[in-house]
């Protein structure tokens, strides 16, 4: 590994951590001595990287320092190509277009050998037997999740009974047979899951739901495994 590659690898490692990481750990992952690591950190700091910390306490890369876009390994490019192909087959048309656009931007600045690796990757996505969801419903769900908006839906259950629900959409899971929405249901006062192919209509409501989505996601995950949590306990207000 050249020194330039090692500096980029060090930046990548630092970007993966939200909290300070010890120099010994970084040096071990890079396969260099602690002395070399400290020298590399000083070099990156001199080049403008906002790396905070010191020996013995750990280091943290603050946001705002952009990595050069060309430094992808062949495995990383194959992963990107495979992921984009999966999205193209399984995602809604807006997401599929975004995946192709992202690959196009990356491919436009790659050197020819790496562009060939990504363009002609032999990793493919097989056919899907998933129940097809309405393209606009998935698109609107993604927007509502991103913007933390409440939604009204008309839902058809397995008995073909229709009901109207007001939901706080939290996450959208892509499974082999269907997509599944995880949400807080105002009617049931609890977390519920809804097959997206059974959502007849969807309307995004103005305003945001009264608690941050990351906090709701934590409570949702806890509800999946904590049987002692009383059902129907309502989340508290937005922090």
What is d(CA 130, CA 178) in angstroms, rounded to the nearest whole number? 5
More confident position, 164 or 67:
164
Check whether 234 has a pLDDT greater than 50.
Answer: no
Tens of pLDDT, residues 111-152: 777 788 888 889 998 877 777 788 999 999 999 999 999 999
CATH architecture, range 135-225 = Roll (2.30)
pLDDT digits (tens, 9 = 90+) for 195-207: 999 999 999 999 8
pLDDT number for residue 225: 82
Report yes or no on whether pTM surpasses 0.85: no
Length of the chain: 239
Taking residues 35-55, report their average pLDDT: 87
pLDDT at 71 over 80: no
- Place 66 in a pLDDT band, splitting at 50, 70 and 90: low
* Distant-in-sequence contacts of 107-112, Cβ < 8 A, 24+ apart: 109/69, 109/70, 110/70, 110/72, 110/77, 111/70
Greatest Cα-to-Cα distance within the chain, rounded to the nearest angstrom = 68
According to CATH, the topology of domain 3-61 is: Arc Repressor Mutant, subunit A (1.10.10)
Work out the pLDDT band at 224, boundaries 50, 70, 90.
confident
Mean pLDDT of the chain: 85
Beta-carbon count within 10 A of 78 CB: 16
Every domain of the chain and the residues it spans: 3-61, 74-119, 135-225
């Amino acid at each position: 590994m050249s020194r330039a590659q090692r500096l980029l690898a060090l930046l990548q490692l630092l970007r993966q951590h939200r909290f300070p990481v010890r120099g010994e750990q970084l040096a071990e992952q890079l396969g260099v001595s602690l002395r070399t690591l400290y020298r590399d950190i000083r070099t990156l700091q001199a080049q403008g990287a906002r790396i905070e910390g010191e020996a013995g306490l750990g280091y943290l890369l603050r946001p705002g320092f952009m990595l050069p876009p060309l430094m992808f390994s062949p495995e990383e490019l194959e992963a990107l190509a495979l992921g984009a192909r999966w999205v193209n087959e399984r995602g809604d048309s807006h997401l599929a277009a975004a995946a192709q656009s992202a690959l196009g931007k990356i491919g436009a600045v790659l050197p020819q050998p790496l562009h060939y690796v990504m363009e002609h990757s032999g990793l493919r996505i097989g056919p899907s037997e998933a129940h097809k969801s309405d393209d606009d419903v998935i698109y609107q769900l993604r927007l509502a999740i991103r913007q933390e908006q409440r939604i009204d839906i008309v839902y058809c259950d397995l008995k073909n009974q229709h009901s109207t629900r007001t939901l706080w959409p939290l996450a959208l899971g892509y499974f082999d047979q269907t997509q599944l929405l995880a949400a807080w249901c105002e009617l049931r006062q609890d977390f519920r899951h809804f097959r997206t192919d059974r959502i007849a209509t969807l309307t995004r409501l103005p305003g945001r739901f009264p608690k941050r989505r990351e906090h709701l996601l934590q409570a949702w995950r806890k509800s999946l495994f904590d049987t002692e949590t009383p059902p129907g306990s309502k989340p508290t207000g937005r922090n």
